[in-house]
Amino acid sequence: MVFASLEFLTLFLPVFFAFYFLTPQRFRNHTMLLGSWLFYAWWTPKYLILIIFLTIITWGAAILIDRSTSEKLKTRTMAAAIIINLASLAWYKYANVLVRSINDLFGGAEHPLIVWQNVILPIALSFTVLHATSYLVDVRRGVVKAQYRLSFFSAYIAMFPHLIAGPIVRYKVIEKELRERFFSAEEFASGVRKFMVGFSMKVLIADPLSPLAALVFKQSAPTMIDAWIGCGAYTIQLYFDFAGYSLMAIGLGLMLGFKFEPNFNNPYLAISIQDFWRRWHLTLSAWLRDYLYISLLGGNRAGERRTYINLMLTMAIGGLWHGGESWNYLIWGIIHGAALCTARAFNERGYSMPDLFSRMLTLFVVMLAWTVFRAANFAEALTMWGGQFGLHGVGMGDAVALALRPTIYASFIIGILCIIYPATRYAQTGWWIFGNTIWRSVWPALAFAYALIVLTGQQSPPFLYFQF
């Protein structure tokens, strides 16, 4: 079950809110926990056991850390719990690709060395592990106190708004709200507006671009125009899909009384690759910086050479966290790591370039990296890169020209020009009519109503981060 579905909007959400707001304040975490577990089990019930197991391991380890007087025992307990979490993630993420790589190397498709049945990656596992790891590290540092009530901690881990694809919510950010929160009509209305705009971003902009991106990436020899159209379609699709989900999650959090941190800030307007990572998936960027780059690897405190190594390792590990079905995500992370190292060396030597050129170059690098991120395998990525650099011809192909017919993208055009853009930008800048308080409420409602009509006539593709 995903947010952009009729079963979520017409069945799960109304029933959940009815029970949630009828529940006395002191028991609402229990209602939220049961609702979140039901939301998760709706996909595949058996994997709920894994989430509960990791939750109990993390909860128990944090209490042992809190009660222990031995610094060595605290560190070992933290490390053991983190290893259990990471090992679970590594198994489900990389068992398939490792076996496939070994079979390709030693046996081939006809005579595999290892007879294997693919392991299915459970949804929400990646974000569960990130939340558990940050919580354990923060308890070990003394940043937060261990939560002794299992139901409260489980509600934090399993909270359905951010369970599937973030944003990553650190325990210290919502610790007080887990203990006590009150209904606010103003915050609830703000949450509804954010949810409606995020829903519209997904249905009206991201979804119509999905078939076009899929069509181009499947071509055996895309032309330059085809390749860049496909890459551009995926670039826009990924942003509006993921940012839309994040905005829906933030909106749902507000409706429940929680204030999640923002996850995007116009990343494609970044002036440098460093600026891009200060704008894209903000909660993941901050997590990688605080818990991996600085805490584990040492950041930039050990000299210039070590700084470059740490940057590469951080982005490579970030790529591995995304991955599973191929090594493409690792390559994507390495590309970004190399870009960050190059930009850092460029700046430290006092070089500069015009802002417009810097923005264009940044977007060019980001889009080349999105190519390998989207491709099914590295061979497909090489084919797309070949097309982007004109190795398969220049002109637009017939298939892409047919896919660009106006009827398919009517909702996309209307969504951007008439609804989403004024709802997300003009309403914030105060441009006369869209800055009006009434219109700030009307535009998201119109967007949501139109998106709902569109959704009833089609099946919305799953969120791109649905099973990371």
- Annotated catalytic sites, by residue? 322
Which residues lie below 8 Å from residue 214, measured CB to CB, with a gap of 6+? none
Distance CA 354, CA 272 (A): 11
* Residue 405: Cβ-neighbour burial (10 angstroms; 0-12, 13-18, 19+): exposed
**Sign of the alpha-carbon torsion through 418, 422, 425, 426:** positive
Pair 233, 216: CB distance under 8 Å = yes
Q: How far apart are CA 179 and CA 175, in angstroms?
A: 7
Q: 328, 372 in Cβ contact below 8 A? A: yes
Tally Cβ neighbours within 10 Å of residue 180.
10
Which candidate, 197, 126, 114, places its Cα nearest to that of 157? 126
Q: Count of CB atoms within 10 A of residue 466's CB?
A: 15
Inter-helix orientation angle 355-374/328-348, to 10°: 160
